[in-house]
Amino acid sequence: MDSVTPRDPFQRFLDEHRAPVLGFLRAMVGPVDADDCFQETFMAALRNYETLDGANPRAWVMTIARNKAIDHHRARARRAIPKEDLPEVRAPAEPERDPELWAAVAELPDKQRTAVALRFAADLRYREVAAAMETSEEAARRNVHEGLRKLRERVAPEERVA
Amino acid sequence: MTGRDALERRLAGRPVGLDDAAARAARRFAEQAAAEGAAEVAYATVETPVGVASVAATPRGVLSVGLPSEAVDEFLGRLAIRFSPRIVEAPGTLDEARRELDEYFSGRRQEFDLPLDWRLVPGGFYRKVLNATSRLPFGNTVTYAEIAARAGNARAHRAAGTALGSNPLPIVVPCHRIIRSGGDPGNYGGGPELKRWLLELEGAFDT
């Protein structure tokens, strides 16, 4: 795992990262728009393949995916009719997987939602979450833990016990 | 780290159908990247009676053919190093090449009608040898000395052998039609058995 370097065929990189990238994007922008963001993410990765960080390709591609999700939210915000002040653009809930839970994730503040999606939907380690969010590992942990704390308050409290 | 609690396990649960959806999205991406030229090389595999062959193309034409003796990963690794790592699997882009190879291997085609990208062939004598080879008709064989002569240097039969051994486009540039002067098929990148099989397929070699 995580062994693809820019000398390797791009197809290998695509095969290795396609599922976590799609999982992450679904959590960020919902299943319908995730597909467009997926295409844009890998197109950008292909164009910039020679800049791939060989030490951490998963974090590298997730940084791109995160930026595509942010672009998507901004574009959506520009298109939206400002009925009232929109403090933040919400990701649509994901229908296929645990809809209640992912609707609650979509309600989290941006950084927490992104950190939770990277940690769980994309299955990154904290070090990689930090790299993908261009922040410190400490901040990544804090965002995940704060996100989890809010989720525990909001969803199925009986699920709290392992 | 500590074990995950129920909430974390729910978050980490991989949704049903994600892998399939990701595979579909990846296929769509690969075809588009190949069609737009963002990927410099498209490849596909072809089932043949003697195993799985590979074929790779650029927008200019077929760049390389991988014989069944070479694993697809090795074929791709070689192209990544020698040409470009921007390689994707895009069978749609390679429809025509796949069809012609399939027809050839099942005995229904004698000539290829495919544009070729010669950029993996060094210039000079190598290129002349492979050019001469590409004109050899189905079912005909010539010796190494003869192909060297056709390439302009009758005495360079050893160099001709080296050029043929480095052929990035086997089958399509039919280097298997060059045999030893005694009638023995001689060496082949895909192994002597495959060379014999191809010559038998073409009716050029009696067992």
| Sequence ranges of the domains in chain A | 10-157
Q: What's the pLDDT at A32?
A: 87
Report yes or no: B8 at the A interface, CB cutoff 8 Å. Answer: yes
pTM, two decimal places? 0.86
CA B187 to chain centre: 18
Task: Return the higher-pLDDT residue of A157 and A16.
Answer: A16
Whether A54 contacts A6, CB under 8 Å: yes
Element (H, E) at B36: helix B18-36
- Segments in chain B below pLDDT 70: 1-3, 206-207
Task: Return the higher-pLDDT residue of B9 and A22.
Answer: A22
CA angle A111, A152, A132 (to 5 degrees): 25
- Alpha carbon distance B18, A26 (integer Å): 10
pLDDT digits (tens, 9 = 90+) for A95-112: 456 778 888 998 999 999
Q: What's the pLDDT at A95?
A: 46
Structural domains of chain B sorted by starting position, each given as residue range(s) with its CATH number in brackets: 17-105 (3.30.160), 124-201 (1.10.10.10)
Task: Return the higher-pLDDT residue of B151 and A92.
Answer: B151
How far, in Å, are A29, A77, A80, A81 from residue A85 at the CA level?
20, 11, 11, 10
The per-residue DSSP string of A17-61 comes to: HHHHHHHHHHHHH-HHHHHHHHHHHHHHHHHTGGG--TT-HHHHH
Whether B169 contacts B62, CB under 8 Å: yes
- Taking one residue from A and the other from B, the number of pairs with CB-CB distance under 8 angstroms is 111
Q: What's the pLDDT at A94?
A: 45
**Complex ipTM:** 0.90
Q: What's the pLDDT at A82?
A: 56
Q: Where are the beta strands (DSSP E) in A51-149?
A: none
Q: Using alpha carbons, select from B63, B59, B45, B145 the residue that is nearest to residue B101.
A: B45
Pick among B11, B20, B88 to test the A interface (most A CBs inside 10 A): B11
Contact: B11, A10; criterion CB under 8 Å? no
> A10-157 domain in CATH 3.40.50?
no
Q: What's the pLDDT at A97?
A: 63
What are the residue numbers of the active site of B? 175
Write out chain A residues lying below 8 Å of B87, CB-based: 9-11
Write out chain B residues lying below 8 Å of A162, CB-based: 3-6
- Mean pLDDT score of chain A, rounded to an integer? 84
Write out chain B residues lying below 8 Å of A39, CB-based: 25, 28-29, 32
Contact: B30, A151; criterion CB under 8 Å? no
User: Considering only A30-44, A64-78, A116-130, which range has the smallest mean pLDDT?
Assistant: A64-78
Q: What's the pLDDT at A4?
A: 62
- Alpha carbon distance B31, B93 (integer Å): 7
What is the pLDDT confidence band of residue A5, given thresholds at 50, 70 and 90? low
For residues A114-141, average pLDDT: 94
